[in-house]
Structure 1
Amino acid sequence: MNAPGRLVLVLGMHRSGTSALARGLRVLGIALGDDLLPAHPCNPKGFFEDAGLYTFNKALLTRLNLTWQSPEAPDAKVLHTLAAGPPGVAALDLLREKSAGQAVLGLKDPRMSRLLPFWRPVLTASGLRAHCVISLRHPDSVAHSLRQRDRLDPETGHMLWLAHMLDILEGSAGLPRLLADYDLLLREPGRQLRRLGHFLGLPVDATELAVFADDFLDPKLRHHKPTDAESDGEKRNAPWAALATRLHAALRPAADEADGRLLDSPRLARLTANLRREAAAMAHASPSGVRP
């Protein structure tokens, strides 16, 4: 019997560099499939996102009366129930179809970051050996990008960044995982992809790395870099930004690790739990009553 295949999940908030990170997987010989979403003016280099996975996750959120812009966390119990029923069977078939004949498959959809309670039992049933690569970008930059693309106010952008990252940290617990910083990937793609290759036990293809670094990456596509004013003074009147910045500051050292030990530390687990409680209290006090 053949050994089970491997699966690399690229997780992260929208506009966090997940597309660039997914494209970088090809440097390690990781297949992304042949059913990718087409490029778009907001992502002119491409999304590197499987169309079937995107359609499935979007429908799953719709079934929960949610969208990617919904700050509240999907109900984990409902997701577990769905995974044990027909949606779980359909998801398992999808994974098996995508991974057939692939030694290592990479899949990316930011929506999966919030749907891990559904996908975890499906992954177990598939037999695939899953690794998570989490794309980190400063929440100020993400909020700026969302304002430009979707006209979301900055506080909503920070709230969504926090909600996604908390769900990722909790939902991926127990799986091998590594944090990848988007800005570092732009500045030093070779070093970052070698780091990722070490984590996955895969060699870097020098030719593919040159194509990725010289032809694909374009620092001009990074339209925003956080300033000290944004990171400090302005957050006194922006509580969601303040919470998001606290989590980013705690996560950033993990982007220099060779493995994900910091992500599994009790200290980060305590911070995650505290931020979840603070976010719920803030949402409860707001008129909308939204609870990330």
Structure 2
Amino acid sequence: MLVNKRIVVVLGAGRSGTSLLMNLASSLGVSVSGDLVGPNETNKKGAFEDTNILKKSRSILRYFNRNGSALSFLPMPDNWLDSQFTKDSREILQAHVESEMRRSHFWGFKEPVTAKLLPLWKRIFKDLDVHPLYLVSLRRPSEVAESFKKAYGVPAEISSLIWISRYTDAILNAGSELYIYDYDDWFSKTDQTIERLAGDLDVPLSPVDKSQCRAIIDGSLRTAVANDDSDREAADLYKAIQLYANSEITLEELIDFASRSREYLSRYDFLQFSVDSLGKKADDLFQKLSVERKRNGELRRLNRDVALKQSDPFLYIRRKRKVSFSEGWGVVAGVASFKAREDVFRESIESVKDQFDHIYVYLNGYGEVPEFLKSSKFSVFLSEDFVDLSANGKIFSLSDVGSCYFFTLDDDILYPPDYVSVMVDTLRKYNDNVGVSVHASILPEYPEWYYERYAMYPFQKELNSDRFVNLIGSGTFAFHTDRLKVTSEDFFPDVMVDLRFSILAKQQGMPLVCVARPEYWLKALVQGEGLYQDFLFKKTIHTEQVIAHAPWGFSIYSDIVLNSVGETFEHKDDYLLSAELYDQEFIKGVREGFVPENWLETKLYRSKVEEREFAKQPMAKYKLVKRELAKYKKNEEKLKKIQRSRVYRLSLYIAKAIKNPFWDAFRLPLNVIRLVVRK
């Protein structure tokens, strides 16, 4: 219930001055919605129509086939108020009115079809316990017809029927006192009509208010003027309303006259039956067409998806991907796997899953989600629903995650229990302005081949302090999403994720740090060189990318480090740098102006160059395989020789005699083998 609230409802036919009347009422203190229909060619000062009420009113007429000029004069169908659509619309309109009136004690609205829908509105007013003040804008029917024709091209015959319908609806549906304002009076009796409006609204009228109202009444906007009312029925109703406005007839007499005008409209009732019948047939036909269109649309969409999937898989994914993210997830990971690694992946993910708030998993070739991933901890995506992304699947969700620490994992690494805590602590040590990795390396300043390296820091090897690097391994990478901005558009299907992350970090001025750790802090679950041998003997896009984004040298990265994290070690001496595991040599090089040894040409770099040159030789791949096979056979022969030796058999015998035979029976002969092999 809205206590002590007043509401103004402006009624009248379209093009009869309802916008002007609502504008003047607003100027005198009646609040209107903040969302109004703006000015346009047919109403240059604005229609002053509430957008929400307009849309819902028109949807009701459309639902009952009363929309459009040719149909809007027809009466509403029987029992239209009992329709579920009307009931739902009533709830929406009532909630909107209640919301508006809570903001103001005196509120109003205007919409030309309101008169037709007044039975619905009266129920709303009753529920809200408000008593509306009906202001009616009256204009000569011939002028309205002329204005309709100019604005919308509606024939005069239809305009007259609409005019009669709007005013008979207003008179018969309101059932209470109407305050009539003749459109002509605004221009011929301006001050007197403004004063009457203020009196009807029961608001004070100051000289400033009157001056503002005069400014609103613009005679130049009155372009349709006509005196010949050829439609006698409309002309007679117009005169009757004028008589009521001048208090020459009572409201009951006006209602009687409007009832006769309603009978005049009843001659068009046959149209109502035809419209309702055609409407039902049209609805049935529309439903059939909708089903057919939906089927055809799905087929076209499927064909487009197939074509896009083949031509641009990443664009296809961006359009189809739906990834959820919760603001409460502070530490998130992304990982990709392929079917042949399922058992290894299970062991890997079990080692680390409890350290994350959520993990996004992209499965290539799995076909279905394995049991060990059926948990709220995981968001799982199958390549069968998208495309096979290989390792790029680990960044599948990265475009859609919010502010968090993001880790990229591999499916063949065993992670330690303190993995996430150590990585996050290292990020915080540098104020989250770096990316950190356990596996990393340093590219030459101007590499000619992707696998050229000045230094390498494999994840299973010990590292006694942090190292600034320029290339990370994405299986052990972490960063904060507020610092490194990454989208799926930044990655290419044929480029390793390691290189793309490193290029993005360089472009965004973010240093890369290889984390200090003990030996075998992380462990490989699968041994082997992976793609290295393949890339050694063929030209790849990786080499093109690494050359295109050169230089990679110390001079570039020293500036990046200083600009991003220089303040974290600016006032630290050598003791603190060592104690806090900073890259002392790099920082010393920055301070004293020399290049650290690991950023210069090294033995490792020269060996990589030799491999590159070897790969260019004829039959290089055959020679390499032959060399590796010969090495394997030589070691195998050594092992067999040792196992036949007296020393080996003696070591087994000694092992049985000592206190812990199970362990030493294995350890002693193994040490003997190692000793002989080294010799």
Name the TM tier (shorter chain): 0.7 to 0.9
Q: Tell me, in whole angstroms, the C-alpha distance in 1 between the residues paired with 2:134 and 2:272.
A: 36
For residue 268 of structure 1, the aligned residue among 233, 250, 254 is 254
Q: Is the 1:22–1:48 contact (alpha carbons within 8 Å) kept by the matching residues of 2?
A: yes
1:198-251 CA distance string (max 9 Å, x none): 2232222431321221x3221121123332xx23xxx3xxxxx21100100111
Aligned to 1:238: none
* Aligned residue identity for 1:141: E
For residue 287 of structure 1, report the CA deviation from its aligned partner: 12
Q: Tell me, in whole angstroms, the C-alpha distance in 2 between the residues paired with 1:157 and 1:211.
A: 33
Q: Is the 1:27–1:209 contact (alpha carbons within 8 Å) kept by the matching residues of 2?
A: no
Aligned to 2:209: 208
Q: Tell me, in whole angstroms, the C-alpha distance in 2 between the residues paired with 1:166 and 1:36.
A: 27
Q: Is the 1:80–1:118 contact (alpha carbons within 8 Å) kept by the matching residues of 2?
A: no
Aligned to 2:59: 59
Aligned to 1:143: 145
Pairing 1:180-219 to 2, within 5 Å after superposition: 180-213=181-214, 215-219=215-219
Q: Is the 1:76–1:117 contact (alpha carbons within 8 Å) kept by the matching residues of 2?
A: no
Q: Is the 2:24–2:216 contact (alpha carbons within 8 Å) kept by the matching residues of 1?
A: no
The percentage of counterpart residues that share the same residue type is: 22
Tell me whether 81-90 or 51-60 shows the greater mean CA deviation: 81-90
Q: Tell me, in whole angstroms, the C-alpha distance in 2 between the residues paired with 1:109 and 1:2.
A: 22
Match of 1:278, SS state, is helix
TM-score for both structures, normalised by structure 2: 0.38
Pairing 1:136-285 to 2, within 5 Å after superposition: 136-174=138-176, 176-213=177-214, 215-227=215-227, 230-231=228-229, 235=230, 241-257=231-247, 262=249, 264-265=251-252, 267-281=253-267, 283=268
Q: Tell me, in whole angstroms, the C-alpha distance in 1 between the residues paired with 2:50 and 2:128.
A: 18
Tell me whether 156-165 or 201-210 shows the greater mean CA deviation: 201-210
* Aligned residue identity for 2:187: L
Q: Tell me, in whole angstroms, the C-alpha distance in 1 between the residues paired with 2:271 and 2:76.
A: 19
For residue 279 of structure 1, report the CA deviation from its aligned partner: 2.3
Q: 1:268 to 1:83 in 2, by over 3 A?
A: farther
Match of 2:224, SS state, is coil
For residue 146 of structure 1, report the CA deviation from its aligned partner: 0.6
What number of residue pairs does the alignment pair up?
274
Aligned to 2:134: 132
Structure 1 alignment gaps of length 5 or more: 236-240
Pairing 1:24-39 to 2, within 5 Å after superposition: 24-39=24-39
For residue 262 of structure 1, report the CA deviation from its aligned partner: 4.3
Q: Tell me, in whole angstroms, the C-alpha distance in 1 between the residues paired with 2:195 and 2:78.
A: 35
Q: 1:139 to 1:263 in 2, by over 3 A?
A: farther
Q: Tell me, in whole angstroms, the C-alpha distance in 2 between the residues paired with 1:81 and 1:276.
A: 24
Q: Is the 2:80–2:86 contact (alpha carbons within 8 Å) kept by the matching residues of 1?
A: no
Q: 1:289 to 1:196 in 2, by over 3 A?
A: farther
Match of 2:194, SS state, is helix
Q: 1:253 to 1:100 in 2, by over 3 A?
A: same
Q: Tell me, in whole angstroms, the C-alpha distance in 1 between the residues paired with 2:17 and 2:259.
A: 25
For residue 49 of structure 1, report the CA deviation from its aligned partner: 1.2
Aligned to 2:330: none
Match of 2:79, SS state, is helix
Q: Is the 2:2–2:130 contact (alpha carbons within 8 Å) kept by the matching residues of 1?
A: no
Q: 1:187 to 1:165 in 2, by over 3 A?
A: same
Match of 1:23, SS state, is helix
Aligned to 2:351: none
Q: Tell me, in whole angstroms, the C-alpha distance in 1 between the residues paired with 2:30 and 2:151.
A: 30
Q: Is the 1:12–1:136 contact (alpha carbons within 8 Å) kept by the matching residues of 2?
A: yes
1:47-101 CA distance string (max 9 Å, x none): 1111111111111111212215222012363125559732221111011112112
Tell me whether 116-125 or 135-144 shows the greater mean CA deviation: 116-125
Q: 1:263 to 1:22 in 2, by over 3 A?
A: farther
Q: Tell me, in whole angstroms, the C-alpha distance in 1 between the residues paired with 2:272 and 2:11.
A: 31
Aligned to 2:125: 123
* Aligned residue identity for 1:276: R
Q: Is the 1:79–1:115 contact (alpha carbons within 8 Å) kept by the matching residues of 2?
A: no
1:13-56 CA distance string (max 9 Å, x none): 00000000000102321111211111001100111111111111
* Aligned residue identity for 2:77: D
Higher helix proportion: 1
Aligned to 1:40: 40
Q: 1:115 to 1:2 in 2, by over 3 A?
A: closer
Q: 1:76 to 1:17 in 2, by over 3 A?
A: farther
* Aligned residue identity for 2:264: E
Match of 1:38, SS state, is coil
* Aligned residue identity for 1:34: G
Structure 2 alignment gaps of length 5 or more: 276-679
Q: 1:52 to 1:94 in 2, by over 3 A?
A: same
Structure number with higher relative contact order (C-alpha < 8 Å, ≥ 6 residues apart): 1
